[in-house]
Amino acid sequence: MAEQLMWRDAQEIGIRLYEEHEDVDPLTVSFVQLHKWVTELDGFSDDPKGSSEKTLESIQMVWLEEWKVDNE
């Protein structure tokens, strides 16, 4: 069974998004799309309405750091 992910797990969510969308520059993803991808992650079990712009930005920055390792 997959680890249960919550909005507070920005580090793990960002890493998982990079693994699932490694060819996507995170800065090209809208917060609407980012929210959708997070809530579709295997193991995501938090309230979909429980995110904020700050939460999504934190996730996006983790994903960006992972993406930069392979793309810069």
All structural domains of the chain, each given as residue ranges with its CATH number in brackets, are 10-71 (1.10.10.600)
The yes-or-no verdict on residue 25 having pLDDT over 90 is: yes
For 59-71, write each residue's pLDDT tens digit. 999 999 999 998 9
| Overall average pLDDT of the 45-58 stretch | 96
**Residues 1-31 as b or e (16 or more Cβ within 10 Å = b):** eeeebebebbebbbbbbbeebeeeebeebee
What is the pLDDT, as a whole number, of residue 2?
57
Closest by CA position to 62, among listed 20, 31, 18, 28: 18
What is the pLDDT, as a whole number, of residue 72?
81
User: Could you tell me the pTM of the whole model?
Assistant: 0.92
The yes-or-no verdict on residue 9 having pLDDT over 70 is: yes
